[in-house]
Amino acid sequence: MIEVRGLSKVYKIYPRRLDRLKEWLSLTGKKRHREYWALKDVNLDIPRGCVFGIIGMNGAGKSTLLKILTGTAQKSAGMVNIHGRVAALLVLGTGFHPELTGKENVLINGKLLGLTDDEIRRKLETIREFSELGDFFFEPVRTYSSGMYVRLAFALAASVEPDILIVDEALSVGDAYFQQKCVAKLREFKERGVTILFVSHDLGIVTTLCDQVALLAEGRVVKTGPVQECLELYNALLAKHGGYGKEYVIGSSDHEKGAGLVSGNNKAKITRVEIHDSNHKRLDAVVAGQKVRVAVGISFNAAISNPTVGILIRDRLGYDIFGTNTAQLQKATGDYAKGDTVNVFFDCAMNLGPGNYTVSAAVHSSLTHVEDNYQWVDRILTFQVLPRADFGFLGVSMLEPTLEIRRT
Protein backbone atom coordinates (compact mmCIF):
# COMPACT_ATOMS: atom_id res chain seq x y z
CA MET A 1 0.00 0.00 0.00
CA ILE A 2 2.89 2.37 0.76
CA GLU A 3 6.28 2.26 -0.94
CA VAL A 4 9.07 4.66 0.08
CA ARG A 5 12.44 4.78 -1.65
CA GLY A 6 15.37 7.06 -0.81
CA LEU A 7 13.12 9.60 0.88
CA SER A 8 14.94 12.64 2.24
CA LYS A 9 13.87 15.99 3.66
CA VAL A 10 16.25 18.87 4.35
CA TYR A 11 15.44 22.17 6.04
CA LYS A 12 17.48 25.36 5.70
CA ILE A 13 18.26 26.87 9.10
CA TYR A 14 19.14 30.57 9.08
CA PRO A 15 20.86 32.17 12.13
CA ARG A 16 18.86 35.38 11.57
CA ARG A 17 15.78 36.25 9.53
CA LEU A 18 17.75 38.80 7.51
CA ASP A 19 20.18 36.11 6.37
CA ARG A 20 17.45 34.49 4.27
CA LEU A 21 16.91 37.74 2.34
CA LYS A 22 20.67 38.29 1.95
CA GLU A 23 21.04 34.81 0.50
CA TRP A 24 18.23 35.39 -1.99
CA LEU A 25 19.73 38.70 -3.13
CA SER A 26 23.33 37.52 -3.19
CA LEU A 27 25.04 37.70 -6.59
CA THR A 28 27.85 35.38 -5.48
CA GLY A 29 25.58 32.54 -4.36
CA LYS A 30 27.03 32.61 -0.85
CA LYS A 31 25.15 30.33 1.53
CA ARG A 32 24.06 31.81 4.81
CA HIS A 33 22.23 28.77 6.13
CA ARG A 34 23.03 25.38 7.55
CA GLU A 35 21.22 22.24 6.47
CA TYR A 36 19.20 20.08 8.82
CA TRP A 37 18.30 16.66 7.44
CA ALA A 38 15.01 15.66 9.10
CA LEU A 39 14.95 12.52 6.93
CA LYS A 40 17.79 10.89 5.02
CA ASP A 41 17.49 7.98 2.57
CA VAL A 42 14.42 6.37 4.17
CA ASN A 43 13.19 3.11 2.59
CA LEU A 44 9.96 1.41 3.65
CA ASP A 45 7.53 -1.18 2.28
CA ILE A 46 4.19 -1.27 4.11
CA PRO A 47 1.90 -4.09 2.93
CA ARG A 48 -1.87 -3.97 2.61
CA GLY A 49 -3.76 -4.60 5.86
CA CYS A 50 -0.68 -4.16 8.07
CA VAL A 51 -0.67 -2.11 11.26
CA PHE A 52 2.75 -0.51 10.95
CA GLY A 53 4.23 1.34 13.90
CA ILE A 54 6.85 4.07 13.71
CA ILE A 55 8.78 4.76 16.90
CA GLY A 56 11.75 6.88 17.86
CA MET A 57 12.83 9.69 20.12
CA ASN A 58 11.74 13.30 19.62
CA GLY A 59 13.43 14.70 16.54
CA ALA A 60 13.87 11.30 14.90
CA GLY A 61 11.81 12.36 11.87
CA LYS A 62 8.53 10.52 12.55
CA SER A 63 6.16 13.45 12.08
CA THR A 64 8.10 14.73 9.06
CA LEU A 65 7.71 11.32 7.41
CA LEU A 66 3.96 11.31 8.00
CA LYS A 67 3.56 14.87 6.71
CA ILE A 68 5.27 13.89 3.47
CA LEU A 69 3.13 10.75 3.14
CA THR A 70 -0.04 12.82 3.58
CA GLY A 71 1.09 15.59 1.25
CA THR A 72 1.27 18.37 3.86
CA ALA A 73 5.05 18.66 3.38
CA GLN A 74 7.22 18.33 0.27
CA LYS A 75 10.11 15.88 0.02
CA SER A 76 13.61 17.01 -0.91
CA ALA A 77 14.49 13.75 -2.66
CA GLY A 78 13.25 10.22 -3.15
CA MET A 79 10.02 8.53 -4.19
CA VAL A 80 6.72 7.82 -2.43
CA ASN A 81 3.94 5.63 -3.86
CA ILE A 82 0.63 5.41 -1.98
CA HIS A 83 -2.27 3.30 -3.25
CA GLY A 84 -5.73 4.08 -1.86
CA ARG A 85 -7.73 6.70 0.00
CA VAL A 86 -5.83 8.20 2.94
CA ALA A 87 -7.26 9.61 6.17
CA ALA A 88 -4.85 11.19 8.63
CA LEU A 89 -4.74 12.41 12.21
CA LEU A 90 -1.60 14.51 12.44
CA VAL A 91 -1.01 17.62 14.55
CA LEU A 92 -3.92 18.18 16.91
CA GLY A 93 -6.77 20.00 15.20
CA THR A 94 -5.00 20.35 11.84
CA GLY A 95 -7.44 21.79 9.32
CA PHE A 96 -10.03 22.87 11.90
CA HIS A 97 -11.01 26.55 11.83
CA PRO A 98 -11.38 27.78 15.43
CA GLU A 99 -14.29 30.11 14.66
CA LEU A 100 -16.38 27.43 12.93
CA THR A 101 -18.50 24.91 14.79
CA GLY A 102 -17.66 21.25 15.00
CA LYS A 103 -20.38 20.49 12.45
CA GLU A 104 -19.13 23.13 10.03
CA ASN A 105 -15.54 21.85 10.34
CA VAL A 106 -16.76 18.31 9.59
CA LEU A 107 -18.58 19.53 6.46
CA ILE A 108 -15.44 21.31 5.19
CA ASN A 109 -12.80 18.76 6.21
CA GLY A 110 -14.91 15.87 4.98
CA LYS A 111 -14.54 17.26 1.46
CA LEU A 112 -10.77 17.61 1.95
CA LEU A 113 -10.69 13.92 2.87
CA GLY A 114 -12.49 12.99 -0.36
CA LEU A 115 -16.10 12.60 0.81
CA THR A 116 -18.97 13.89 -1.31
CA ASP A 117 -21.65 16.23 0.08
CA ASP A 118 -24.13 13.35 0.23
CA GLU A 119 -21.64 11.09 2.04
CA ILE A 120 -20.85 13.77 4.62
CA ARG A 121 -24.49 14.55 5.39
CA ARG A 122 -25.31 10.85 5.61
CA LYS A 123 -22.47 10.28 8.07
CA LEU A 124 -22.95 13.50 10.05
CA GLU A 125 -25.01 12.02 12.87
CA THR A 126 -22.71 8.99 13.11
CA ILE A 127 -19.70 11.33 13.47
CA ARG A 128 -21.47 13.31 16.17
CA GLU A 129 -22.42 10.15 18.09
CA PHE A 130 -18.92 8.68 17.90
CA SER A 131 -17.32 11.93 19.07
CA GLU A 132 -19.73 12.11 22.04
CA LEU A 133 -19.50 15.91 21.97
CA GLY A 134 -23.23 16.41 22.50
CA ASP A 135 -24.30 20.03 22.00
CA PHE A 136 -20.64 21.11 21.72
CA PHE A 137 -20.82 19.68 18.18
CA PHE A 138 -22.65 22.92 17.30
CA GLU A 139 -20.25 25.21 19.19
CA PRO A 140 -17.08 26.93 17.84
CA VAL A 141 -14.03 24.70 17.91
CA ARG A 142 -12.05 27.39 19.80
CA THR A 143 -14.14 26.47 22.87
CA TYR A 144 -12.95 22.83 22.73
CA SER A 145 -10.44 21.22 25.05
CA SER A 146 -7.57 19.22 23.53
CA GLY A 147 -9.47 16.00 24.24
CA MET A 148 -12.54 17.31 22.42
CA TYR A 149 -10.36 18.18 19.40
CA VAL A 150 -9.21 14.55 19.27
CA ARG A 151 -12.76 13.23 19.59
CA LEU A 152 -13.94 15.28 16.63
CA ALA A 153 -10.84 14.59 14.51
CA PHE A 154 -10.87 10.84 15.12
CA ALA A 155 -14.63 10.57 14.57
CA LEU A 156 -14.23 12.33 11.20
CA ALA A 157 -11.23 10.23 10.13
CA ALA A 158 -13.01 7.01 11.14
CA SER A 159 -16.05 7.92 9.02
CA VAL A 160 -14.03 8.22 5.82
CA GLU A 161 -13.65 4.42 5.51
CA PRO A 162 -10.07 4.86 4.29
CA ASP A 163 -7.75 2.36 2.66
CA ILE A 164 -4.91 3.87 4.69
CA LEU A 165 -5.24 5.51 8.11
CA ILE A 166 -2.33 7.55 9.44
CA VAL A 167 -2.31 8.42 13.15
CA ASP A 168 0.38 10.60 14.73
CA GLU A 169 0.30 10.52 18.55
CA ALA A 170 -3.28 11.84 18.55
CA LEU A 171 -4.65 9.20 20.92
CA SER A 172 -2.32 10.27 23.73
CA VAL A 173 -4.40 13.42 24.31
CA GLY A 174 -7.81 11.83 24.91
CA ASP A 175 -9.04 10.35 28.19
CA ALA A 176 -8.70 6.65 28.97
CA TYR A 177 -12.29 5.87 27.96
CA PHE A 178 -11.99 7.45 24.52
CA GLN A 179 -8.52 5.96 23.98
CA GLN A 180 -10.01 2.49 24.47
CA LYS A 181 -12.84 3.37 22.09
CA CYS A 182 -10.32 4.52 19.46
CA VAL A 183 -8.17 1.41 19.89
CA ALA A 184 -11.28 -0.75 19.40
CA LYS A 185 -12.03 1.19 16.20
CA LEU A 186 -8.47 0.69 14.98
CA ARG A 187 -8.84 -3.06 15.58
CA GLU A 188 -12.05 -2.94 13.56
CA PHE A 189 -10.19 -1.22 10.72
CA LYS A 190 -7.45 -3.85 10.95
CA GLU A 191 -10.01 -6.68 10.60
CA ARG A 192 -11.40 -4.95 7.50
CA GLY A 193 -7.95 -4.88 5.90
CA VAL A 194 -7.22 -1.18 6.33
CA THR A 195 -3.52 -0.32 6.35
CA ILE A 196 -2.72 1.68 9.50
CA LEU A 197 0.42 3.76 9.98
CA PHE A 198 0.74 4.47 13.67
CA VAL A 199 3.18 6.79 15.46
CA SER A 200 3.19 6.77 19.25
CA HIS A 201 5.43 7.02 22.31
CA ASP A 202 3.00 4.70 24.11
CA LEU A 203 4.87 1.44 23.65
CA GLY A 204 2.01 -0.51 25.23
CA ILE A 205 -0.36 0.51 22.41
CA VAL A 206 2.38 -0.17 19.84
CA THR A 207 2.82 -3.68 21.25
CA THR A 208 -0.94 -4.25 21.29
CA LEU A 209 -1.78 -3.02 17.79
CA CYS A 210 1.23 -3.27 15.52
CA ASP A 211 2.30 -6.15 13.27
CA GLN A 212 5.62 -4.54 12.32
CA VAL A 213 7.62 -1.54 13.51
CA ALA A 214 10.17 0.84 12.02
CA LEU A 215 12.59 2.49 14.44
CA LEU A 216 13.83 5.94 13.37
CA ALA A 217 16.84 7.77 14.79
CA GLU A 218 18.32 11.03 13.50
CA GLY A 219 16.23 10.88 10.32
CA ARG A 220 17.22 7.35 9.34
CA VAL A 221 15.55 3.95 9.63
CA VAL A 222 17.65 2.05 12.15
CA LYS A 223 15.62 -1.17 12.11
CA THR A 224 12.42 -2.55 10.60
CA GLY A 225 10.88 -5.81 11.74
CA PRO A 226 9.11 -7.61 14.59
CA VAL A 227 7.73 -5.36 17.33
CA GLN A 228 9.66 -6.84 20.25
CA GLU A 229 13.06 -6.65 18.53
CA CYS A 230 12.54 -3.02 17.54
CA LEU A 231 11.34 -2.06 21.02
CA GLU A 232 14.42 -3.66 22.58
CA LEU A 233 16.69 -1.63 20.32
CA TYR A 234 14.66 1.52 21.07
CA ASN A 235 15.12 0.84 24.78
CA ALA A 236 18.87 0.57 24.27
CA LEU A 237 19.00 3.78 22.19
CA LEU A 238 17.10 5.68 24.90
CA ALA A 239 19.85 4.84 27.38
CA LYS A 240 22.59 5.68 24.88
CA HIS A 241 20.98 9.09 24.35
CA GLY A 242 21.56 9.83 28.05
CA GLY A 243 25.04 11.18 27.31
CA TYR A 244 27.20 8.07 27.55
CA GLY A 245 27.50 7.49 23.81
CA LYS A 246 31.26 7.04 23.26
CA GLU A 247 31.71 4.10 25.60
CA TYR A 248 28.17 2.80 25.20
CA VAL A 249 27.82 -0.48 23.28
CA ILE A 250 24.72 -2.10 21.77
CA GLY A 251 25.20 -5.69 20.63
CA SER A 252 24.00 -9.27 20.69
CA SER A 253 23.97 -11.38 23.79
CA ASP A 254 26.62 -13.91 24.73
CA HIS A 255 24.24 -15.39 27.29
CA GLU A 256 21.76 -18.22 26.83
CA LYS A 257 20.29 -18.96 23.40
CA GLY A 258 17.29 -16.79 22.66
CA ALA A 259 18.44 -13.79 24.69
CA GLY A 260 17.90 -10.37 23.15
CA LEU A 261 20.03 -7.25 22.95
CA VAL A 262 22.72 -6.28 25.40
CA SER A 263 23.45 -2.60 25.92
CA GLY A 264 25.49 -0.46 28.30
CA ASN A 265 28.94 0.89 29.02
CA ASN A 266 30.10 -2.42 30.59
CA LYS A 267 31.29 -0.88 33.86
CA ALA A 268 29.38 -3.80 35.35
CA LYS A 269 28.27 -7.06 33.78
CA ILE A 270 25.33 -9.38 34.44
CA THR A 271 26.86 -12.84 34.72
CA ARG A 272 23.73 -14.89 35.41
CA VAL A 273 20.00 -14.78 36.04
CA GLU A 274 18.34 -17.87 37.52
CA ILE A 275 15.11 -18.87 39.24
CA HIS A 276 15.46 -21.06 42.35
CA ASP A 277 12.98 -22.86 44.58
CA SER A 278 13.08 -22.89 48.39
CA ASN A 279 15.74 -25.63 48.26
CA HIS A 280 18.01 -23.48 46.03
CA LYS A 281 17.35 -25.75 43.06
CA ARG A 282 17.38 -24.05 39.67
CA LEU A 283 13.98 -24.07 37.92
CA ASP A 284 12.95 -23.80 34.28
CA ALA A 285 9.24 -24.09 35.13
CA VAL A 286 7.23 -22.97 38.14
CA VAL A 287 3.67 -23.58 39.30
CA ALA A 288 1.35 -20.56 39.35
CA GLY A 289 1.68 -18.86 42.73
CA GLN A 290 4.89 -20.70 43.69
CA LYS A 291 7.33 -18.76 45.88
CA VAL A 292 10.70 -18.48 44.17
CA ARG A 293 13.96 -16.56 44.29
CA VAL A 294 15.23 -14.73 41.20
CA ALA A 295 19.02 -14.59 41.45
CA VAL A 296 21.01 -11.95 39.53
CA GLY A 297 24.80 -12.22 39.46
CA ILE A 298 26.90 -9.08 38.82
CA SER A 299 30.63 -8.58 38.23
CA PHE A 300 32.27 -5.14 38.24
CA ASN A 301 34.76 -3.77 35.74
CA ALA A 302 35.07 -0.43 37.55
CA ALA A 303 34.61 1.03 41.02
CA ILE A 304 30.86 1.68 41.52
CA SER A 305 28.94 2.96 44.52
CA ASN A 306 25.42 1.70 45.24
CA PRO A 307 24.49 0.32 41.80
CA THR A 308 20.84 -0.33 41.02
CA VAL A 309 19.95 -3.90 40.02
CA GLY A 310 16.58 -4.68 38.45
CA ILE A 311 14.50 -7.33 36.73
CA LEU A 312 11.64 -7.14 34.21
CA ILE A 313 9.25 -10.00 33.41
CA ARG A 314 7.47 -10.04 30.03
CA ASP A 315 4.93 -12.47 28.62
CA ARG A 316 5.29 -14.30 25.29
CA LEU A 317 3.84 -11.32 23.38
CA GLY A 318 6.36 -8.91 24.86
CA TYR A 319 4.04 -7.13 27.29
CA ASP A 320 5.66 -5.86 30.48
CA ILE A 321 4.13 -7.91 33.31
CA PHE A 322 6.22 -6.87 36.29
CA GLY A 323 9.42 -5.00 36.90
CA THR A 324 11.26 -3.65 39.92
CA ASN A 325 14.76 -2.76 41.07
CA THR A 326 16.74 -2.14 44.23
CA ALA A 327 16.23 1.64 44.02
CA GLN A 328 12.45 1.27 43.82
CA LEU A 329 12.60 -1.12 46.77
CA GLN A 330 14.81 1.41 48.62
CA LYS A 331 17.60 -1.09 49.25
CA ALA A 332 21.23 0.04 49.16
CA THR A 333 23.51 -2.43 47.39
CA GLY A 334 26.91 -1.29 48.72
CA ASP A 335 30.20 -0.09 47.26
CA TYR A 336 32.28 -2.22 44.86
CA ALA A 337 35.79 -2.13 43.41
CA LYS A 338 36.93 -3.42 40.05
CA GLY A 339 36.89 -7.23 40.09
CA ASP A 340 34.23 -7.53 42.83
CA THR A 341 31.12 -9.66 42.38
CA VAL A 342 27.71 -9.71 44.03
CA ASN A 343 24.50 -11.72 43.94
CA VAL A 344 21.16 -9.93 44.31
CA PHE A 345 18.10 -12.01 45.19
CA PHE A 346 14.48 -11.06 44.52
CA ASP A 347 12.10 -13.23 46.55
CA CYS A 348 8.55 -13.26 45.20
CA ALA A 349 5.53 -15.41 44.46
CA MET A 350 5.00 -16.15 40.76
CA ASN A 351 1.35 -15.12 40.72
CA LEU A 352 1.22 -15.44 36.94
CA GLY A 353 -1.07 -17.23 34.55
CA PRO A 354 0.10 -20.35 32.73
CA GLY A 355 2.36 -19.65 29.76
CA ASN A 356 5.89 -18.71 28.73
CA TYR A 357 7.69 -15.68 30.15
CA THR A 358 11.08 -14.01 29.88
CA VAL A 359 13.25 -12.15 32.38
CA SER A 360 15.35 -9.14 31.41
CA ALA A 361 17.92 -7.79 33.86
CA ALA A 362 19.78 -4.52 34.29
CA VAL A 363 22.41 -2.83 36.43
CA HIS A 364 22.68 0.95 36.31
CA SER A 365 23.40 4.02 38.40
CA SER A 366 20.00 5.43 39.29
CA LEU A 367 16.27 4.73 39.32
CA THR A 368 16.13 3.99 35.57
CA HIS A 369 18.60 2.54 33.11
CA VAL A 370 18.51 5.74 31.03
CA GLU A 371 20.89 7.31 33.58
CA ASP A 372 24.31 5.67 33.19
CA ASN A 373 23.37 2.16 32.11
CA TYR A 374 26.14 -0.28 33.03
CA GLN A 375 24.42 -3.23 31.35
CA TRP A 376 20.92 -4.21 30.28
CA VAL A 377 20.25 -7.71 28.92
CA ASP A 378 16.92 -8.45 27.25
CA ARG A 379 15.36 -11.91 27.58
CA ILE A 380 18.34 -13.37 29.40
CA LEU A 381 16.12 -16.06 30.92
CA THR A 382 13.03 -17.91 29.67
CA PHE A 383 10.74 -19.84 32.00
CA GLN A 384 7.33 -21.48 31.99
CA VAL A 385 4.46 -21.11 34.42
CA LEU A 386 2.37 -24.25 34.89
CA PRO A 387 -1.30 -24.26 35.97
CA ARG A 388 -2.25 -25.13 39.52
CA ALA A 389 -4.42 -28.21 39.92
CA ASP A 390 -6.31 -26.69 42.88
CA PHE A 391 -6.95 -23.22 41.44
CA GLY A 392 -8.25 -22.45 37.97
CA PHE A 393 -8.28 -18.95 36.44
CA LEU A 394 -7.79 -17.00 33.22
CA GLY A 395 -5.34 -14.22 32.36
CA VAL A 396 -1.73 -13.41 33.17
CA SER A 397 -2.15 -12.54 36.85
CA MET A 398 -3.27 -14.72 39.74
CA LEU A 399 -4.90 -12.51 42.40
CA GLU A 400 -5.86 -15.36 44.77
CA PRO A 401 -9.31 -14.03 45.74
CA THR A 402 -11.24 -15.27 48.74
CA LEU A 403 -14.86 -16.22 48.18
CA GLU A 404 -17.89 -15.51 50.37
CA ILE A 405 -21.50 -16.34 49.55
CA ARG A 406 -24.36 -14.85 51.56
CA ARG A 407 -27.86 -16.01 50.97
CA THR A 408 -30.40 -13.16 51.17
> Which CATH number is 63's domain given?
3.40.50.300
Kindly state whether residue 297 falls inside one of the protein's structural domains.
yes
In a shared domain, residues 177 and 265: no
Kindly state whether residue 152 falls inside one of the protein's structural domains.
yes
Kindly state whether residue 62 falls inside one of the protein's structural domains.
yes
In a shared domain, residues 217 and 275: no
In a shared domain, residues 251 and 214: no
CB distance 245 to 229 below 8 Å: no
In a shared domain, residues 123 and 271: no
pLDDT over 60 (residue 243): no
Range of lowest pLDDT (48-52, 112-116, 270-274):
112-116
pTM of the model as a whole: 0.82
pLDDT over 60 (residue 230): yes
In a shared domain, residues 251 and 334: yes
**Distance from the Cα of residue 375 to its chain's centroid:** 22
Kindly state whether residue 7 falls inside one of the protein's structural domains.
no
Range of lowest pLDDT (80-84, 181-185, 243-247):
243-247
Kindly state whether residue 401 falls inside one of the protein's structural domains.
no
* Rg of the Cα atoms in the chain: 26
3-state secondary structure the chain: CEEEEEEEEEEEECCCHHHHHHHHHCCCCCCCCEEEEEEEEEEEEECCCCEEEEECCCCCCHHHHHHHHHCCCCCCEEEEEECCCEEEECCCCCCCCCCCEHHHHHHHHHHHCCCCHHHHHHHHHHHHHHHCCHHHHHCEHHHCCHHHHHHHHHHHHHHCCCCEEEEECHHHCCCHHHHHHHHHHHHHHHHCCCEEEEECCCHHHHHHHCCEEEEEECCEEEEEECHHHHHHHHHHHHHHCCCCCCCCEEECCCCCCCCCCEEECCCEEEEEEEEECCCCCECCEEECCCEEEEEEEEEECCCEECCEEEEEEEECCCCEEEEEECCCCCCCCCEECCCCEEEEEEEEECCECCEEEEEEEEEECCCCCCCCEEEEEEEEEEEEEECECCECCCCCECCCCCCCCCCC
In a shared domain, residues 280 and 322: yes
What confidence score (pLDDT) does residue 54 get? 95
**Residue 265 sits in a domain of what CATH number?**
2.70.50.60
CB distance 335 to 365 below 8 Å: no
Structural domain boundaries, residue 326 = 246-386
pLDDT digits (tens, 9 = 90+) for 305-335: 999 999 999 998 888 999 999 999 999 999 9
Kindly state whether residue 77 falls inside one of the protein's structural domains.
yes
Residue % of the chain over a pLDDT of 70? 95
What confidence score (pLDDT) does residue 21 get? 82
Kindly state whether residue 364 falls inside one of the protein's structural domains.
yes
pLDDT digits (tens, 9 = 90+) for 335-356: 999 999 999 999 999 999 999 9
- Residue that is last in its domain, among 225, 259, 276: 225
Separation between Cα atoms, residue 293 and residue 275, nearest integer Å? 6
Q: What is the mean pLDDT of residues 192-212?
A: 89
In a shared domain, residues 211 and 149: yes
pLDDT over 70 (residue 381): yes
Separation between Cα atoms, residue 228 and residue 14, nearest integer Å? 40
| Mean of the per-residue pLDDT values of the chain | 89
CB distance 221 to 342 below 8 Å: no
Q: Report CA-CA distances (Å) from 351 to 165, 276, 399.
A: 39, 15, 7
Separation between Cα atoms, residue 124 and residue 105, nearest integer Å? 11
Kindly state whether residue 43 falls inside one of the protein's structural domains.
no
CB distance 80 to 166 below 8 Å: no
Residue % of the chain over a pLDDT of 90? 53
Confidence label for 61 from pLDDT (cuts 50, 70 and 90): very high
pLDDT digits (tens, 9 = 90+) for 256-282: 556 689 999 999 999 999 999 999 999
pLDDT over 60 (residue 390): yes
What confidence score (pLDDT) does residue 92 get? 53
Confidence label for 405 from pLDDT (cuts 50, 70 and 90): very high
pLDDT over 80 (residue 81): yes
In a shared domain, residues 118 and 216: yes
Instruction: State the Cα angle at 333 between 328 and 334, rounded to 5°.
Output: 145
238 or 140, which is more confident: 140
In a shared domain, residues 208 and 282: no
What confidence score (pLDDT) does residue 252 get? 73
In a shared domain, residues 296 and 356: yes
In a shared domain, residues 189 and 263: no
> For the chain, what is the domain count?
2
pLDDT digits (tens, 9 = 90+) for 355-365: 999 999 999 99
In a shared domain, residues 215 and 250: no
Q: What is the mean pLDDT of residues 196-222?
A: 91
Q: What is the mean pLDDT of residues 286-293?
A: 96
Confidence label for 249 from pLDDT (cuts 50, 70 and 90): confident
Residues facing residue 56 across a β-bridge: none
